[in-house]
Amino acid sequence: MPNAASARVFYLLPGLGADERVFRDLLPLLKGDAHTLPWLLPEPRETLPHYAGRIAERIPPEQPCFVASVSFGGIVALEIGRRRPRAQIVLISRVPDADALPWLLRLARATGVYKLVPPQLLKLFPRAGQWYFGVNSGNDYLLFKQILFDTDPMYARWAIDRLLRWNSRGVGPALRIHGTHDRVLPRGSAPIEYLIQGGTHFMILSRAGEISRILNSLPISPAR
Coil, strand, or helix at residue 175?
strand
**Whole-number pLDDT of residue 82:** 94
Give the 3-state DSSP-derived string for 73-116, with helices as H, strands as E and coil as C. Answer: HHHHHHHHHHHCCCEEEEEECCCCCHHHCCHHHHHHHHHCHHHH
Which domain range does residue 106 map to?
4-217
- DSSP 8-class letter at 212: H
Rounded distance between C-alpha atoms, residue 54 and residue 57, angstroms: 5
Percentage of the chain beyond pLDDT 70 is: 89
Q: Report if residue 42 sits inside a domain.
A: yes
Q: Report if residue 173 sits inside a domain.
A: yes
> Which tens digits make up the pLDDT trace of 100-143?
877 777 777 777 766 656 666 666 677 888 888 889 878 888 98
Q: Report if residue 156 sits inside a domain.
A: yes
Residue 40 has phi, psi (to 5 degrees) of -100, 155
**Whole-number pLDDT of residue 5:** 45
| β-strand partners of 202 | none
Q: Report if residue 223 sits inside a domain.
A: no
CATH of the domain at 106: 3.40.50.1820
Q: Report if residue 190 sits inside a domain.
A: yes
Query: What domain count does the chain have?
Result: 1
**What DSSP letter does each residue of 8-30 carry, written as one string?**
-EEEEE--TT--GGGGTTTGGG-
The pTM for the full model equals 0.88
**Whole-number pLDDT of residue 2:** 41
Q: Report if residue 224 sits inside a domain.
A: no
Q: Report if residue 170 sits inside a domain.
A: yes
The mean predicted confidence, pLDDT, of the chain is 87
Q: Report if residue 95 sits inside a domain.
A: yes
Average pLDDT over residues 164-184: 92
